[in-house]
């Protein structure tokens, strides 16, 4: 999985740094092990609209609480709930603790989950995410993240 992400970033001309480390599950663990000055620590969540089969990925600063009602209202939903572990693996090919925008490389089928990304992350100069494996971290510029998302034609909704 790591090589899939790094190969793709190289192919589209996005500069990055790869750091390998012991497995981490939470963003707090990650932040303690992989501290990079001037780099936004992020958390990525895969969620479902409670009343439909629509799924979304949320990306927020690591320390921001996910307001499931407020974020859902940005796309006309009443409330989000977390996707099941099975659905996460079925749709994105990753397990909890390894979710990141890079998991969109594994998306299959017609229904593609939009990305709701906090504006602080969207405009950050540098961000870090797991490359679909929680034993490594990819550090890239905000511009590089945007280039990645554009290259996969990802629908992005910037939220406050």
Please report, for the domain that includes residue 131, its CATH number. Answer: 3.90.960.10
Instruction: Give the global pTM.
Output: 0.91
pLDDT digit string (tens) for 84-143?
999 999 999 998 889 999 999 999 767 789 999 999 999 999 999 999 998 999 999 999
pLDDT digit string (tens) for 5-43?
999 999 999 999 999 998 887 777 776 777 788 899 899
- 148 contact partners, CB below 8 Å, separation of at least 6: 8, 9, 12, 14, 101, 102, 140
Residue 82: other Cβ atoms inside 10 A: 14
Sign of CA dihedral 99, 100, 104, 105: negative
Distance separating alpha carbons of residues 75 and 157, to the nearest angstrom: 9
Please state the φ and ψ torsions of residue 101, each to the nearest 5 degrees: -55, -25
- Number of domains the chain contains: 1
Distance separating alpha carbons of residues 131 and 71, to the nearest angstrom: 25
Distance separating alpha carbons of residues 15 and 77, to the nearest angstrom: 36
pLDDT on residue 30: 73
pLDDT digit string (tens) for 38-76?
899 899 999 999 888 899 999 999 989 998 899 999 998
Structure tokens at 111: 């229904």
* Boundaries of domain holding 29: 2-159
Distance separating alpha carbons of residues 110 and 70, to the nearest angstrom: 27
Please state the φ and ψ torsions of residue 41, each to the nearest 5 degrees: -85, 130
C-beta separation of 119 from 135 below 8 A: no
């Amino acid at each position: 999985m790591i090589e899939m992400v790094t190969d793709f970033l190289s192919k589209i001309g996005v500069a990055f740094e790869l750091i390998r480390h012991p497995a981490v599950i939470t963003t707090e663990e990650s932040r303690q092990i992989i501290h990079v000055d001037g780099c936004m620590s992020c958390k990525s969540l895969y969620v479902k609209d409670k009343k439909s089969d629509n799924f979304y990925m949320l990306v927020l600063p690591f320390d921001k609480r996910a307001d499931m009602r407020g974020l859902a209202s940005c796309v006309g939903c009443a409330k989000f709930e977390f996707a099941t572990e099975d659905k996460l693996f079925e749709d994105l090919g990753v397990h909890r603790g390894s979710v990141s925008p890079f998991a969109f490389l594994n998306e299959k089928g017609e229904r593609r989950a939009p990305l709701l990304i906090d504006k602080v992350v969207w405009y950050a100069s540098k961000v870090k995410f797991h490359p679909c494996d929680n034993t490594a971290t990819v550090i890239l510029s905000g511009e590089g993240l945007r280039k990645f998302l554009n290259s996969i034609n990802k629908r992005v909704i910037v939220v406050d």
